Structure 1
Amino acid sequence: MTTPSHAAVALVTGSARRVGAVIAGALVDAGYRVWLHHHHSPREAEALAHELRARAGEQAVIDVLVADLADASQRRALAERVCAWDEGRLDLLVNNAASFEHGRFVDRDDDDLRRVLEVNLVAPLSLVRSLMPALEQAGGNVVNIVDVAGMHPLGGHVDHGIAKAALDFATRALAVELAPIRFNAIAPGTVAWPTDERHAPGSSVRAAILRQIPLGRIGGPDDVAEAVLYLARASWVTGTRLVVDGGRVAAIGADRL
């Protein structure tokens, strides 16, 4: 398959590795031309760009953008680059880039809080504002990757949960204020096991997590990518949050037979 030069355009932030890379690949397979973005993963980003171009032609990856999204000037430069390219169209913005820092709230300081809020909340909203001309030109839509930690507290991740909960709210608010541009959110559950010893194969922690998931397994990055594709195509869906977690949130507080 070769991606045509008139195909829809998507920007996926944090797309060099893990879930972001799978989202970018799924979009290319669906016929999108994509902007890849990373902060400090150049080898992974270039390898992904090479793979996607080999799979779908040179047009599949417009370019690899490098930016620290915690830096306002770098965010502006990224948006200016996207808006200046071709006719400045952007059909889909996937705000996937995030930081996931762990620590007891009282052991962290205001700078830690500001950093997490800047990456997980301010950056995606700033990009929406800066990219609105391109989104409006294409009649585009935005998918924000939030987190189930923004719906129910996760120990050691207060900053992260606050930021994601606020981004979830902003998704609904912007769907109303900026219509007909569509805004939706995806709240993934566990889509990959952490690599620390506590979550090692056969550990009691893994077993406890699996018992909390009605479907009896964790998900994978493909599950999130499929949700992105659905929301990108669902032309009458806006202002909603799609929870992709195997039913774990729904089961909180439920009696399990």
Structure 2
Amino acid sequence: MIPFETMPGSPSSPVALVTGGARRVGAAISRALADAGFRVWIHHRRSDDEANRLRTEIGTERCAVARADLASPAERSALIAEVADPEGPFDGRLDLLVNNAASFEHGTFEERTDDDLRRVLEVNFVAPLSLVRGLLPRLRAARPPSDLVPTPCVVNVLDLGALTPWPGYVDHCAAKAALENATRSLAVALAPHVRVSAVVPGTVLWPDDPAFAEGAPARRRIEARIPLRRPGTPHDVARAVLYLAAAPYVTGEIHRVDGGRLAAAGVSGPTEA
């Protein structure tokens, strides 16, 4: 357990914004941060029911919900203004920004359009940088420090598409690879006052597709390539976010949570059995 000095939900508790924080991995991150002692902004685009249920679960005094389409510059600006508002639920404080929201659209390179590319880039690359830039004054002003986040921190959530080619997701991979590089560049640009790292989940949640049902051949092939011989869980990713937030001497880190899958890529033998 990571120690912390403030009671959960108290005015001195650190504040986190989790984009895409109402569902799937984002919800696990929101819960883990709240359980650790953060007050949490849950951002979503159209998951009103899930976001409000999660807010009730966490506690309405410790959690706020914000809705925005991150592909829209105007809605991004409105989200920044809402989080930074000194009259808002958490007085404009922000200690941790988790850029988790993503667009994941499949299609062959030939059938994808320039508009498709722009939309994916807006959500997966432009929006995270826009939020960092817009919320940077609040991050730099965050006080008092906490064991949960000793210095203000940004954690970008990538995926293995940032590091390996996925032919059916060319625009997605390009956007995530750009964000991976931007993570390291921002870590240098914003030091020493703001730390910036990224977490790279591997196989965590299976698609809602019969081809990936329990025991299906495609699923077994993927699991066989993971040295730890199992998929991860959303909580595995959330624990990595907590670590990166709490580690005062870690910045510019691209932290893989993939069970060793990328390390074993191209290796023959037991991992391919």
Percent same amino acid among aligned pairs? 56
Distance 1:41 1:164 in 2: 23
**Residue 108 and residue 150 in structure 1: after superposition, are their counterparts in 2 closer, same or farther (change >3 A)?**
same
Q: Deviations over 1:1-29 (max 9, x none)?
A: 75212100000000111000110000000
2:175 to 163, 169, 179: 163
1:193 to 186, 194, 206: 206
Give TM-score, length-normalised by structure 1: 0.95
Task: Indicate the SS of the match to 1:93.
Answer: strand
**TM superposition shift of 1:256:** 2.6
Give TM-score, length-normalised by structure 2: 0.90
After superposition, residues 10-49 of structure 1 pair within 5 angstroms as: 10-49=16-55
Please say if 1:251 is aligned against 2:264.
yes
Task: Indicate the SS of the match to 2:102.
Answer: coil
Q: Is the 1:5–1:59 contact (alpha carbons within 8 Å) kept by the matching residues of 2?
A: no
After superposition, residues 98-247 of structure 1 pair within 5 angstroms as: 98-138=102-142, 139-180=151-192, 181-247=194-260
Q: 1:69 aligns to what?
A: 70
Q: Deviations over 1:193-221 (max 9, x none)?
A: 11112112221101100111000000010
Q: Is the 1:191–1:219 contact (alpha carbons within 8 Å) kept by the matching residues of 2?
A: yes
Q: Deviations over 1:100-146 (max 9, x none)?
A: 00011111110111110000000000000000000100141100001
**TM superposition shift of 1:34:** 0.5
Bigger helix fraction:
1
Q: Which runs of 4+ in 1 moved over 3 A?
A: none
**Residue 170 and residue 2 in structure 1: after superposition, are their counterparts in 2 closer, same or farther (change >3 A)?**
closer
Q: Deviations over 1:174-198 (max 9, x none)?
A: 0001112100001111101111121
User: Number of matched residues?
Assistant: 252
**Which range is displaced more, 124-133 or 76-85?**
76-85
**RMSD between superposed Cα atoms in Å:** 1.2
Q: Deviations over 1:218-242 (max 9, x none)?
A: 0010000000000000010001100
Q: 2:146 aligns to what?
A: none
Distance 2:195 2:77 in 1: 22
Distance 1:240 1:66 in 2: 29
Question: Structure 2: where are the runs of 5+ without partners?
Answer: 1-6, 143-150
Distance 1:229 1:153 in 2: 28
Question: Structure 1: where are the runs of 5+ without partners?
Answer: none
Q: Is the 1:4–1:59 contact (alpha carbons within 8 Å) kept by the matching residues of 2?
A: no
The one-letter code matched in structure 1 to 2:120 is V
Distance 1:256 1:169 in 2: 32
The one-letter code matched in structure 2 to 1:174 is L
**TM superposition shift of 1:59:** 2.6
